[in-house]
Structures are given as C-alpha cells and as structure tokens.
Structure 1
Amino acid sequence: MDDLHREDFVPRISAAQRRSDFVNAAIEVIAAYGIDGATTRRIADQAQANLAMLHYCYDSKDDLFADVYEFVAGRYRDVIQDSDPHSTLADTARQLLRGAMEAYLESPSFAATTLELISWARRQHGDRGIAVYDQALESVRAALRGTSAEHPVEPETIDQIAYVIATLADGFAMNWLTYGDRSAATEQMETVVSVLDSWLAARVGSTPAGV
C-alpha cells in the first residue's frame, strides 16, 4: 500500500480529544515551568502535537487556560460527588478532606498547577482568582449542607468546616510538593484527618472515626 492511500487509514483524533490532550499537557507544563513558562510551544510538544493544531483548537492561550480552570474545578466536583450522600456531617467532612488529599497525592502536577493557577489568577485577574477558590469552597459547603439536612447546623459552622478542610488540604499539598515523599505523605494523610476529627469533636461534638 503506497503512502497516499495509507493516510486514509490513519485514525483521526477528534477536536474534543485534542482539546483534552492540550489541557492535560498544559497541567504538566504549568507544574514544571509555572504560568510564565507555559508557552504554547511547550504545551504542544507535551501533547505530542504541532503548534498549528493547538491554535486550531484554541484561539488563544487564555482560551486554553479557561479549559484548564474548568478541569481543575471539575476535579474538585468529582471529589464532592464521590462522597457518600448518606454519611453524617462528620463523615462527609472526612471524606471530602481525604478525597482532596488523594487527588493531590495521585497527581503532583495537578496539585502544583492548582496552586499556581489560583496564585497567578489572583495576581493578574483578582476576581477570577478568588472565584476559582470560591467555587471549590462552595462545592464543599453544598456537600456539607446536604448531609446535615436531618440535623441542621448553623451556616457559620458549615463555613468553618469548609474553611478547615480547605486549609488542611492546602497545607498537605504544599508539604507533599515540597518533599515529594509518597510514603511519608500517605502517613501524614492520617495525621491530617485526625486533626480534623479533633476539631470536629471540639466544635460540633462529633466522635472521631474509630473511637
């Protein structure tokens, strides 16, 4: 079969799949080089595609970054959806914290890119940077409100629990990115959850898991 006809049998990749490839590539590049170093050429190379294809899929780097933001937000939504809707408030809080930490542990690039994007957006586009963090917090608050329906909790308490979860998860991410010791990070996850348990016991009278 000559080259001309062989091309007809090369599987074509859809534009949607290409965009997904570029988003995943952008996450890796941002994690390695930061926002300023995340050039379209590096992203195209990471995706094993040519630059023309990237510009075909995205009119600008800002459009690509918008999809990266959406991917990050979607990953947090996945964590929320994976929590048990029939759990107690305390159990849901533990699941949300553990889910966030597991997402960071699973992909250091996701952890690094998330922190980089929020920091960069806060510097360059203040409202947008805040919105990214606000969306994640609101997803946590919504999940907590859903599991406390039978035994209503003050909105202030829901806000506090969401804040503690976010603070503990972010602290875990920074430590994990700094040292990169997976074995230590896995053990530290249990320590972090125990901190949440102690806070919950003091604040809402919940019994820590396993007690």
Structure 2
Amino acid sequence: MPRISAAQRRQDFVRAAVEVIATHGIDGATTRRIAEQAKANLAMVHYCYDSKEDLFADVYEFVVGKFRDLTAAVDPQATVEQTAHKMLRDTMEYYVESPSFAVSALELINWARRQHGSRGIELFDKALEGVRATLRAAAGERPIDDETIDAIASAIAFVADGFAVSWITYGDRALAEKQMEIADSLLDSWLTARLGATNQRATKRRRTAASR
C-alpha cells in the first residue's frame, strides 16, 4: 500500500472536519471523530496538527478558498449582470451539492467570531472581496463606481446566505430549485434597477462634460 504523505493527510482531515462540524457542531468536532471520519488513527491527527485550533485554522482557510474558487469560475467575456448571476447560481448549487459545507461555513463564522473576534468578519470580508474583484474585472471600461460594485457584491451575499439558511433548514431539493429561480429573479430585478440608474447617471455626466 503506498504511503500517504502528511500533506495529503491534512487535506483528508480538513474534509473530514467539515463533515464532522456539520453533524456535531464546533464543540462536538473532536479530534477522535475527525480521525474516524478520515479513516485514520488519532495519533496521525496529532502528528499532522499540534492542536485542534491549528486544524480548524486549515478548515477555515479551506472555506475561504472554496468561496474564492466559486467567485473566480466565470467567463472573462461575461457582462457584470451575467457574472453576478453566475456567481450566485454557482454558490447556491454548491450549497445544494455540498450541504455539509454550507453548515460548516456558518458554524465556522460564528466560532471564529466568538474565539477570535474579527476573524469571523475576516472570512466574510475575504469572500466579498473575491466577488468584488470578479465584478470589477467584468465591468472593464464600463462606468460602474466602487459603491455600486460593493452593493452588487453585498446583494449576491445576502441572497446566497438566505438561500443557504433555507436549504440547511429544509433540505428539500425541489424547494431549493424553486428558490434558486426566485433568487435569480430577485437579483435580476435588483440589477436592472441599480445598473439602470448607474447608466443614467453616467450618461448625464458625459452629456454635462460634452457641453462644457
């Protein structure tokens, strides 16, 4: 049997921790349960990590990285509107396909806030910054100000988080599909209103500049 590297073991323990946290919560995520979920012995967990806090730090980074991946996986030629819809849809679909991730992400934010103050906010901020960066890239030369980019990113986060809570609560795929359609429709209406107003302001500024 080939030997499994410590780096691979750490990845196994991180994924196992996500499942255990989703089932038992942060307080119930003991190293023994994580080892059992990863089909490894307890000594290996302690070999890879000095403490459970160190393991949770890796889980935290895994969650941040997953949100970063979800926000980056868009067509570089897409419009801001298309990009916003893609990020929202990809996030919601990932929650449905990986319910343990959705539960664990919310658990970790609360845990980080309780244990480390601003760290829970940091996770949320990192996820939002990834959304903003992707939206800025999609905007290109289009005159969309930073305030509007921030507002779009926040709208995506609010809708995705509300969807996550509903999915975690009911776990009903048929309902989730309907709610994803509602979420898309809500975002579409909001984007039309917000970007329409932004475009009108930009046109007015151009006309004013041209008349001087």
Equivalents in 1 of 2:179, 2:124: separation in Å?
24
Aligned partner of 1:73 in structure 2 is 64
Give me the whole-angstrom Cα distance separating, in 2, the residues matched to 1:152 and 1:62.
45
- 1:1-211 residue pairs with structure 2 within 5 A? 10-205=1-196
Q: Deviations over 1:156-199 (max 9, x none)?
A: 10111010100000000000000000121022111101100000
Question: In 2, distance between residues paired with 1:62 and 1:83?
Answer: 34
Q: What does the per-residue CA deviation read over 1:72-116, in whole Å, with 9 as the maximum and x for residues that have no partner?
A: 111111112211111111111101111111111110000000011
1:15 Cα shift?
1.0
Instruction: Write the deviation string for residues 16-58 of structure 1: whole angstroms up to 9, x where unpaired.
Output: 1111110010000000011111111111111111110000011
Identity of aligned residues (%): 65
Q: Secondary structure at the match of 1:49?
A: coil
RMSD between superposed Cα atoms in Å: 1.1
* CA distance in structure 2 between the aligned counterparts of 1:120 and 1:15, rounded to whole angstroms: 26
C-alpha deviation, 1:151, in angstroms: 0.4
Q: Which letter maps to 2:183?
A: V
Q: Distance in 2 between matches of 1:97 and 1:62?
A: 31
**SS at structure 2 position matched to 1:34:** helix
Q: Secondary structure in 2 aligned to 1:146?
A: helix
AA of the residue aligned to 1:95: K
Q: Which amino acid aligns with 1:55?
A: H
| Residues 21, 28 of structure 2: 8 Å contact kept | yes
Q: Is the 8 A contact 2:111 2:120 kept in 1?
A: yes
SS in 1 for 2:71: helix
**In structure 2, how many angstroms separate the alpha carbons of the residues matched to 1:137 and 1:93?**
12
Q: Where does residue 204 of structure 2 map in the other structure?
A: none
User: If each structure's helix is expressed as a fraction of its own residues, which one has the higher value?
Assistant: 2
Q: How many residues align?
A: 197
Q: Deviations over 1:101-132 (max 9, x none)?
A: 11111100000000110011112211111100
TM-score when scaled to structure 1? 0.91
Structure 1 segments of 4+ aligned residues over 2 angstroms from their partners: none
Greater displacement, 145-154 / 158-167: 145-154
Q: Distance in 1 between matches of 2:173 and 2:141?
A: 39
For structure 2, the residue ranges without an aligned partner over 5 or more in a row are: 198-212
In 1, Cα distance between equivalents of 2:146 and 2:65: 25
